[in-house]
Amino acid sequence: MIVGLVVACEVGFWVLLAAGLAARYLLKLRRTSVALLLCEPLLELVLFVATAIDLKRGAEPSWEHGLAALYIGFTVGYGHYTIRRLDGHAAHRLAGGPPPPKPPRHGLARARHEGRLWLRTLLAAAVACALLQGAIQYVGEGGTESLRAFQWVALRAAGIHGVIALTYLIWPKKPKKPEEEPGSALPARDPEHVPGRLVGRTGQDEQQVR
């Protein structure tokens, strides 16, 4: 039941997001759009309550409950970011707005961008671990190995993402040089046609040989 509810919440997230953006930019119903987008957190609330009720009824803690906690954490960390990004694309394509700014690709700007994304992952992991710890304390220590395993999954994901984000700070990505860009290679120049050089070196070469 929990897995099916997680899938339903994920589908509902995208359905509500699409409906909210369509109401805003196609139907020009801004209030309706806001109401639809505000329903997004209710999905996580429903999943949280359903998981708590399932455990209260005596269900043995399993990977399903761990998956629900990870999903809620990810939505808390990245839900608003995803909605904001897609809202910018919808405004550009459906309402003639300016194109949304692209994430930076090079230098310290890219490192800061990756750092902000890692903070979102850290928030997602913290929320998931807190929910899992609450479930562990709620049901007691017996049979909670799967919940603790998902806590380690969340912490490992945050750690791996942190290492990846740190590489952009230690080794900043540099923009490609013009000659390295595809299709921008400069044609090879004939040394006989370089400005400032004498043409017809055959006679000089013959004199050097003699």
Does residue 199 lie in a domain region? no
Asked if residues 118 and 161 have their Cβ atoms less than 8 Å apart, the reply is yes
Distance CA 198, CA 206 (A): 15
Asked whether residue 201 is domain-assigned, the answer is no
pLDDT confidence of residue 122? 97
Is 165 within the bounds of a domain? Answer: yes
Q: Please tell me the predicted confidence (pLDDT) of residue 1.
A: 75
pLDDT score of 86: 94
d(Cα 166, Cα 156) in Å, to the nearest integer?
15
A 10 A CB-CB count for 177 gives 8
Within a 10 A sphere around the Cβ of 139, how many other Cβ atoms?
A: 18
- Residue 161 clears pLDDT 80, i.e. is over it: yes
Please give the residue range of the domain that contains residue 163: 2-174
How far apart, in whole angstroms, are the C-alpha atoms of residue 161 and residue 168?
A: 11
Question: What is residue 199's predicted lDDT score, i.e. its pLDDT?
Answer: 44
User: 202 in a domain, yes or no?
Assistant: no
Q: Using the predicted structure, report yes or no on whether residue 206 has a pLDDT greater than 50.
A: no
Check residue 28 and report its DSSP letter.
Answer: -
The verdict on residue 56 lying in a domain is yes
Q: What is the pLDDT of residues 113-141, one digit of tens each?
A: 999 999 999 999 999 999 999 988 887 76
Contact 118, 162 (CB under 8 A): yes
pTM over 0.75: yes
Number of domains the chain is built from: 1
Does residue 179 lie in a domain region? Answer: no
Q: Please check whether residue 206 lies inside any domain of the structure.
A: no
pLDDT at residue 45 greater than cutoff 70:
yes
pLDDT for 179: 56
Tell me what percent of the residues of the chain surpass a pLDDT of 90: 58
* Structure confidence at residue 196 as a pLDDT band (50, 70, 90): very low
Question: 205 lies in a domain?
Answer: no
25 confidence band (pLDDT: 50, 70, 90): very high
The two tokens of residue 209 are 């040989």
Q: What pLDDT band is residue 144 in, cutting at 50, 70 and 90?
A: confident
CA 150/CA 143 separation, integer angstroms: 13
